[in-house]
A and B are shown apart, each in its own frame.
Chain A
């Protein structure tokens, strides 16, 4: 069974640009969660999507947004990038047995 897939693995952007990160959940999982892991700040919850709807949002500015597609894959968009957006972005998907499986992450570097 394929795990949670995230792309790209690494992304380098200039301050002010936009970044798009992608996540494909495990087959059959309808919930997708996004987390930011910045140096020294731990794992911060960003967004939760289920059945195509945004269910919950963490304490992040509106320039962090996303969506979930009919096939349950998801995109995270970060607009007007700032240096402090540099982090590892992790995606997780969840099944009905409430197992949360994480992908390997996208390392975003803003220069």
Chain B
């Protein structure tokens, strides 16, 4: 079975600072990996996905993630945080077309 671990349930950064949200996966075969964002009282919005093509994946809103098989990681980064990035972020893993398995989420706070 696949699983993901998100390190840090809360991350706080200053506006303009680098955003780094960590995700490590466990899978016996190369999986598909996803990052979603959730704003309060809303559903999940897909930021980006890794589907065994390019290891560096660019997503929406300036986010990107790099698949590193040797480290079993899929960390999410953004060079410069904006106030509007404050939300909860979820990493997920699957072997399609099976269900997504989510991490516990990381709440990102952006301060002035």
Contacts and interface: CB of A to CB of B under 8 A. Distances in A.
A92 to B, nearest CB: 7
Instruction: Sort chain A's interface into a size bin.
Output: 20 to 34
Contacts of B45: 102
Contact of B51 (A31, A43, A98, A101): A98
Nearest to B100: A100
A50 interface: yes
A78 to B, nearest CB: 19
A67 B36 CA distance: 26
Interface stretch (B54-62, B79-87, B91-99): B91-99
Interface stretch (B18-26, B65-73, B101-109): B101-109
Given A33-B99, A45-B99, A102 B105 contact: no
Interface of B: 32, 34, 36, 41-46, 49, 51, 90, 92, 94, 96-105
Interface of A: 4, 6, 31, 33, 42-43, 45, 48, 50, 56, 58, 90, 92, 94, 97-105, 107
Closest 4 CB pairs of A and B: A98-B96, A102-B44, A43-B102, A104-B43
Given A6-B43, A43-B102, 19 more contacts: A31-B97, A33-B100, A43-B90, A45-B100, A48-B99, A50-B97, A56-B99, A90-B44, A92-B44, A94-B96, A94-B97, A98-B32, A98-B96, A100-B92, A102-B45, A103-B43, A104-B42, A105-B42, A107-B41
